[in-house]
Amino acid sequence: MKKIIKEKDLILKEYEDFKFRGVKRMRHEKYVNINEAVLEWFKTVRAKKIPVSGPMIQHKAKELADALGIENFSASNGWLDRFRIRNNITFRSLCGEAADVDPSLCEDWQERLPLLLAGYDDEDIFNMDETALFFRGLPNKSMIQKSEEARGGKIPKEWLTISFCVSAAREKEKPLVIWRCQTKL
């Protein structure tokens, strides 16, 4: 009871801020300065659509602890898990091209495609697809806040494109390799 009376102002402030709703016991963060600095860095980096991994957060936390002069701080996996839970951060795949296709264009393709292909032999119907090998690329998964959309950033400018082509009769063409580079390597 003595502790509650002693910390009355802090308890009321945290209650008003809805910091501890739904919990029975108030636990205070040990490294508030580091946690706030890491969260601010995280929000800044994600605002630029840069993917962030767990080890990146841990490394930044260690850097900030050193900069703040805190020697006994360890950015352990346990610290990372608690940091993620406190700040509603989750690990998801990023979709960089999620808004590129208009769904209304794809609605009736299953009905129209057989009509378009009706006058052709299987040897004359080809499907081509491409894949890219990126250089200096960023990861496609990132730590993000639960309220944030899982959209990626810009694609790196250096890549090889390889296209594959096969007919409906299962005849394969040689792969086509296309080199594209904005600057010389």
CA distance 84 to 168: 49
Measured distance CA(179)–CA(133) in Å, rounded: 10
- In whole angstroms, what is the distance from residue 128 CA to residue 181 CA? 22
pLDDT at 42: 92
Per-residue pLDDT at 63? 92
pLDDT at 113: 84
The values of phi and psi at residue 89, to 5°, are -105, 135
What sections of 18-174 are H helices per DSSP?
32-47, 54-68, 77-86, 109-117
CA angle 54, 58, 61 (to 5 degrees): 140
pLDDT at 135: 73
Q: Domain residues of the chain, as ranges? A: 1-87, 117-137+156-184
CATH 1.10.10.60 fits 1-87, yes or no: yes
| 89 closest CA partner among 52, 143, 47, 35 | 143
Q: How many CB atoms lie within 10 A of CB 35?
A: 18
pLDDT mean for each 10 residues of the chain (185 residues): 79 68 63 89 87 90 91 90 88 62 68 87 90 72 70 65 91 84 51
- What is the DSSP code (8-state) at residue 172? B
